[in-house]
Structure formats: C-alpha cells, structure tokens
Structure 1
Amino acid sequence: MKKLTLLGDITPEQFLRDYWHKKPLLIRQAIPGFKPLLPFDKLAELATKDYVESRLVTKTTEGSWDMQHGPLKELPARKQREWTMLVQGVNLQDDNADALLRQFRFLPDARRDDLMVSFATDGGGVGPHFDSYDVFLLQAEGQRRWKISAQKDLTLIEGLPLKILKKFKATEEFVLEPGDMLYLPPHYAHDGEAIGDCQTYSIGFRSPSYQELGEAFLQFMADSIDLPGRYADPELEPTSKPAEIPKAMLGKLADELNKVSFTEDDFAIFLGEYLSEPKHNVFFQPLEKPLTAGKFQQSAEKNGVSLSRKTQMLYRGKNVFINGESFAMNKADKATLETLANTRGLNGATVAGASEDVLEALFAWYTDGWLELNK
C-alpha cells in the first residue's frame, strides 16, 4: 500500500501493527503547510449555534477550572490568557473539515467519530486528562506544548467540572507546530498548553462501552422477541411459606427465557443502525423544492451523486445502513451500494446502470437531504 504523508514515513499497516491502541506516535509535518480550515470568527460563530456542541474552559484566579456549555453567546477577550473554546463536529458544518476527517479512512468509518477544533489563548488548555478513545491531535495554528505519560494511575480530582488527573507525571514532552500531529491511544494521559494563540484539531475515533452497547442492543431487540404461551403451574402444591418464590416457578421461567437467542445477523443489523445513527444534534433539511424523480435521474446520470457530509453509510453482508436505517441488498444492487458507501458518491455512468430499486432509494435520500446531486 502507498505510504501516506499523514503517517510520516510508515504505511497504514505499520501504524496499525505498531502504534494503534498501543503507543503514541509523533508525526512531524503530517500535513506540510497546514493552516486552519476555518478562521476564528467562523469558529466562534459555530459555537453560538444550538445545533453545534461547544464548551468554554477557563482557569479561575484560584487556579481551579470552570467550564461553560454552549451555545456560547460571549467569549472572553482575545488578549485574556488561559481560556479554551472547544467546538465539536466541525466536519458536519464545513466541507473542508469533512474532507480532512476523511483522509483518515484507512480506518473504518464504523470507528470514526468527529473533528473537534480547540482554540486556546496563551496558557490555555483543559488540564491533564485521558480519553477513552483513539485520537489524532493535529496542530493547525500557533504552537502547543504536549506533555504525555503512560501512567496507570488515572485517578481524577473530585468536585471539578472537568475530568482532571489527580497525579499527572509527564514522561515525554513535545512542542507541535502547524502541520505536526500526535497520535494517542486510549487512556494515555496527556496535557496540552497553548503557546500564544493556537488551534488544535482533534480527530477522534469512537469506542462505546460494552455496557452502552448491551443496553442499546437489548432495547433494539425488545420488539423482536417472540415467546408464545403464558406461565402456568397445574402441579402447584400448598405452601407454608407464601412469601417465598417457588423453586419450580423460577426454574420454569428461566427455561422459557433462555429460549431467547440472537443471531449474527441480529448483531450486524443492530450495530449498523447504531453506528450510523446521527447524533442528537445532527439534523437534515429536506429539500423545499426537489426535482421530480425523472429530472433527478437525468441530472444524476449526467453528473453523479454524493452523500451529504452528515450522512453515515455502512454495510455488512447483505445489509446496508444509512443514518440509522437498514435494508437488505439483493445481489444485483450490492456492488453499486457498496461503491456509494466506500467512495461516498457515484458517477453518472454508475447511476445510469443502477436498478429501479437503487434509483428509487437515491431519489428518496435526495429529497430527505441525505444525498446531493453533483454540479
């Protein structure tokens, strides 16, 4: 496989073998000449929106921490030291940010989370902490000093609005310039401090807990369970302990409930819908005046189509998943839909060769704002 500048002088295979989930990697000039994709004013404007998750972190005069959740209607003065504005999901709001995030598609979309932009004034940061997911920290503007540690003690200070490590002991230190990038595996302690005004882009990869997945899966399967019949005990005998649950009742109910089983297809459909489900603050705007189906098809066959940057499309086996919905693909449509998911678009020739079912789906996704016509 071709080496990516993004990973320095190593291939994606080498990165995954030697670093992913294992140890940090500092990549000098991962993106040479990189500059912020959004100016500060645009970033600050996004932080005022109720559909964009944002936070303002400041150090208090007592040396503690304060955090304010967005929408952020007012920010401290730019000349004030030690404050940080965090804006999540910038890839959902800007095409260039979305394109940057998708440079990391040597990793599965099923693991991709979002692009967070951190703007900080001199001395700003969020304190020593750890993340429960893999993250690439790309310096976009100014400098940031990172201190990192493989320490096992991840005890947090109680009573703070932020998860600050109680005993952080740095073992390595780096100053990142624009274009430099630092990869950190989960639970690797780190502390970043701005040297002058700076912007850092965090490319995160989601890692849901098994508890979270288990609860969601059982909720997902609740409507699929089929256990006919009703409990009965025709052999019931008199008891001298009426408050005790009968052993026979417990055993019979356990036998019946143990008949509930799940297939690999059940897990695949759940996971596909779960991982493609838009976040709570992601909204699609249906077209007010969409083209007719015929006009849409003509335009799509001429110029092709592309998925909206907000759309998450995945597949597994015969099932395809898009924005939390799923359906089974037939063999004739499998190649077309997998191409759309993997390349996030179809050229005109491919659309022209698509089946009626695929064209119908493309048109529905177009009217819902999930898919766009190329110009």
Structure 2
Amino acid sequence: MQIHDFDVDLFLRDYWQKQPLLIRNPWKAWRNPVDPDELAGLACEEDVESRLITQEADRLAMESGPLPEERFSELGRAPMTLLVQAVNQHVPEVAGLIAPFRFVPDWRIDDVMVSFATDGGGVGPHFDQYDVFLIQGLGRRRWRVGPQCDAATPLLPHDDLRLIADFEATDDWILEPGDILYVPPRFAHDGVAVGDDCMTYSIGFRAPSRAELVEGWCEHQADGMAEEDRYADPDLVVQDNPGEITASALDRLHAMVMEGLSDRDAFARWFGLHNSLPKYAETDWRPEEAVDAQDVRALLTQGVPLSRNPASRFSFIRQGDGTVLLFVDGHCFDCVEKTAALAENLCAGPGMAPDPGLAASAEVVKLVAALIDQGSLAFDEED
C-alpha cells in the first residue's frame, strides 16, 4: 500500500516526537489487510503474543494468550478488545503497512500490533514510551488524546494495565477506515470502538532507555575484562584520616570505569548486535541441513530473489575504512566490497533480486549461506 499527499519533511519537522497528528485517509486505495477471524486464529497459537481485554461494569480485566477457541464464543455482548502482537511476521499484507513509514530508520521499528474490538471496547486511557501510528482498518474508533505524561502521572491500581487515573482529553476524533493517528511518546490517549468489527493497526517504534543501554553495555564490557585489571595505587602516601576516600582515589576509580566504557567502535558493534536481536524468534526459517555452497552459487547465478525472514532484524553500520558491519538477528558480519554492497541491499527492504554476477564471489556465497543457515534469509524459488 502507498500513501500520497503526505509531506514527510513537514511531519518530521513539526510533529515527530512533538505533537499528535490526525491524517485523514491518505491511502490511494485502502484495503483492510487481515480479517477478524484470522486475527482470532493467531491469538490461539502458542508462539503468538496476545491479550484479551474484557470489561465488567467499570473495570477492565486482561487475559494473556494463547486463548482457547471456545473463549470467543463465551464473551457475549460485553465490550472486549483482542490485541495480537507482531502480526507483520505472520501476514505479509500487514507487513506491507510498514513500508510507508520507513522514513523512520528500520532499527527503530518494533512491530505491528493489531486490535479487534466490539462496540465500547478499548484498553483504557494510557500512555506509551514510544511513537506509534494508529491506522484504522475496519469500523470506527473514537480517539481522545491528552497531554504528555511522566513517571509522576497518577495511575489507577491495576495488576495488568497502566491506566491513567485522571484523564482529560485535549483532542477528540473519530477515525474511519484508512485514517491514521500519530501519537508521540508519553502522550495520553484512549481509543474506544464505535460499533462492532473495529480493527486498528498499531505501528510502534522502539526507543531504548538510558538504563537499558547503560546496563547492557556495561555488562558486555565487564564480561570481557581481565580479572587482574584492578585498582592500583603505587604512589600511595599516608593520609591524615584513614577513613577518607580521597579525591585522587576517586579520580583514579572513575577513570578506570570511564576508560572501560569509552570505546565508541566497540560500542557500535555491541549496539548493532543488541539491537538486532529478534523480539519474536519463533518464525524459524533454519533449514534442517546446512545449505550447500554450490546450491547457493547456482541460485545466485539464476538471479533467484532473496527474501528476509519477517521475524529477522537487519541493519548495518559503515566503518571509516570502508567496511560495513552487517547485523542480523544478534550476529555481526564484517563485509567489504561486494559483500558490503550486498549487505546494504539486504537492509534496504524485505527482499531483493541479486545480481547474477555475485555468484562469482566466494565471500558473497559464504555470507548468503550463513544467513540462510541461521534462518534469516531464504531464496524465494517460487518466484
């Protein structure tokens, strides 16, 4: 699907992470990409994360999936919402919804969550720590948006849901099929289905916290440090008070820590590995036996398209010496020349038609074979 008459530069300048924006049906021809029955079927599967939100009186209750099929027939007419994560990994048409928003770098993309709600269904007023585009797929949904929240915002007591206690809307819209609502991080919002068969597609974007980065990077560096790399003070002199930790000792201790964390090249490699770890790795494309290099070469020669596993995460970092570090599902590949160009092409989209001339490169064949063996890539021989 494609959107038109959407000024990306204007959006990034005036709205991205600044204020909400309602975009009335910008699609050339909107088509709902997954039907409610298929979504319910996904919610019954073991390897799919799902939640069911039901409402009794004024209280919301949450059940985690997988859900038994008979659960849906037990719901009756009370308001309900079904939420299914990462539907883009299971339905190619849902994955296609990401393409129009790839003006945001891929490493920031999380997944596409799909919700189905009956009349009055919703998850309550809340706020998220990430950007989200909410696309109305079927039916209608009323969205009320409020001010930005933070850790001090009062929440209602609830075991499973983080619901805002005193929600006051500043904007109020009803979305029709094809409409899009962009909500920046921490803006309060509340969506309620208006009528039955209401479906919404939530394209969410990751934003690592400072705490997550510090913890992960420190643990990574600490794992590689030698046991004998310890504090030393060969210039020690007698102190006036033995109970004091002196400024010179603190300077030396602080320097030890900062020097151990200041290698930017090492940080870049770690972050690429960390960020490319798949969130849901259950979509397993690994072949039963290691792929044969001759088979890879033959398929490359024929120009057979390569397709990325929809559960895989691809990204790359350019190095100053011309090397490209390719990160795929928590693995790093150092790429130069032809493999560097291939790495960039693989990261550009969900699939590519390789140049048959690449078959002559042993390094290209080796890289493609490695990505196939780890389940991140496959030849689309049906095409």
TM-score where L is the length of structure 2: 0.86
Q: Which moved more, 1:117-126 or 1:329-338?
A: 329-338
Deviation at 1:257, TM superposition (A): 4.3
Count of residue correspondences = 369
Aligned mates of 1:171, 1:256 — CA distance in 2? 50
- Asked whether the equivalents of residues 145 and 195 of structure 1 are also in contact (C-alpha less than 8 Å), the reply is yes
Given candidates 10, 19, 22, the residue that maps to 1:14 is: 10
DSSP 3-state at the match of 2:34:
coil
CA change 1:351–1:359 in 2 (3 A) is farther
Given candidates 111, 114, 117, the residue that maps to 1:114 is 111
Shift of 1:372: 1.3
Find the residue that maps to 1:284 and give its secondary structure: coil
| Shift of residue 256, structure 1, vs aligned partner | 4.2
Q: Is the 8 A contact 2:221 2:261 kept in 1?
A: no
Structure-1 separation of matches of 2:189 and 2:110? 20
* Counterpart-to-counterpart distance in 1, 2:373 and 2:61: 43
Return the offset for 1:170.
1.2
Offset of 1:222 from its aligned partner?
Answer: 2.0
Distance apart, 1:369 and its partner CA? 2.2
Equivalent of residue 341 in structure 2, options 335, 342, 347:
335
C-alpha displacement at 1:270, in angstroms? 1.7
Is 1:161 aligned to residue 163 of structure 2? Answer: no
Aligned equivalents of 1:370 and 1:337: distance in 2? 13
- TM-aligned CA distance change 1:55 to 1:95, over 3 Å: same
- The offset of 1:351, in angstroms, is 5.8
After TM superposition, give the deviation of residue 354 of structure 1 in Å.
Answer: 6.1
How far does residue 35 in structure 1 lie from its aligned partner after superposition? 3.4
Q: CA deviation at 1:229?
A: 5.0
* Identical-residue share of aligned pairs (%): 38
**Match of 1:65?**
60
Aligned: 1:288 with 2:288: yes
Choose 346-355 or 194-203, whichever is displaced more: 346-355
1:40 corresponds to which residue?
36
Contact 1:52 1:281 in 2 (8 A): no
- What is the RMSD of the two structures over their aligned residues, measured on CA atoms? 2.8
Using the TM superposition, name which of 104-113 and 283-292 deviates more. 283-292
Q: Is the CA contact 1:33–1:178 (under 8 Å) kept in the aligned structure 2?
A: no
Using the TM superposition, name which of 8-17 and 255-264 deviates more: 255-264
C-alpha separation between the residues in 2 aligned to 1:370 and 1:75? 35
Q: CA deviation at 1:353?
A: 5.3
Match of 1:150, SS? strand
Cα offsets for 1:217-267 (capped at 9, x unmatched): 11222233357555567888999999x587587676555445424222122
Could you say which residue in structure 1 is the equivalent of 2:215?
A: 215
Aligned to 1:315: 316
Name 2:298's counterpart in structure 1.
Answer: 298
The aligned amino acid for 1:359 is V
Residues 1:141 and 2:138 are matched in the alignment: yes
Q: Which residue of 1 aligns with 2:193?
A: 194
Q: Does the CA-based 8 Å contact 1:149-1:172 persist in structure 2?
A: yes
Hey, what's the Cα distance between the residues in 2 that align with 1:118 and 1:295?
A: 42
Q: Structure 2 stretches of 5 or more lacking a match?
A: 319-323
Whether the 8 Å contact between 2:127 and 2:149 is mirrored in structure 1 is: no
- The 1:230–1:86 alpha-carbon spacing in structure 2 relative to 1, beyond 3 Å, is closer
Distance 1:26 1:231, change over 3 A: closer
Equivalent position to 1:372, from 374, 378, 382: 378
Change over 3 Å in CA distance of 1:222–1:283 after alignment to 2: farther
Indicate the SS of the match to 1:170. Answer: coil
Amino acid at match of 1:311: S
Other-structure match for 2:266: 266
Conserved in 1, the CA contact under 8 Å of 2:298 and 2:359? no
**Superimposed CA distance per residue, residues 21-67 of structure 1 (whole angstroms, 9 cap, x where no aligned partner):** 11111111133543332222221111122211111111123x11111
TM-score of the superposed pair, with normalisation by structure 1: 0.88
AA of the residue aligned to 1:176: L
Query: Is the counterpart of residue 23 in structure 1 residue 30 in structure 2?
Result: no
Q: Once the 2 structures are TM-superposed, how far is the Cα of residue 145 of structure 1 from its aligned partner?
A: 0.8
Tell me, in whole angstroms, the C-alpha distance in 2 between the residues paired with 1:200 and 1:251.
54
Closer/same/farther in 2, CA of residues 265 and 351 from structure 1, 3 Å limit: farther
Shift of the alpha carbon at 1:159? 3.4
Name 1:279's counterpart in structure 2: 279
Which sections of structure 1, spanning at least 5 residues, go unmatched?
A: none
Counterpart in the other structure of 2:362: 356
Q: 1:246 to 1:135 in 2, by over 3 A?
A: closer
- Residue 207 and residue 261 in structure 1: after superposition, are their counterparts in 2 closer, same or farther (change >3 A)? closer
Q: Deviations over 1:129-160 (max 9, x none)?
A: 11111101101111111111225573211235
The one-character-per-residue Cα deviations of 1:53-93 (angstroms, maximum 9, x if unpaired) are 111111123x1111111111223546523111100000111
Q: Residue 321 of structure 2 aligns with which residue?
A: none
Partners of 2:56 and 2:80 lie apart in 1 by 10
> Quick one: which amino acid aligns to residue 37 of structure 1?
P
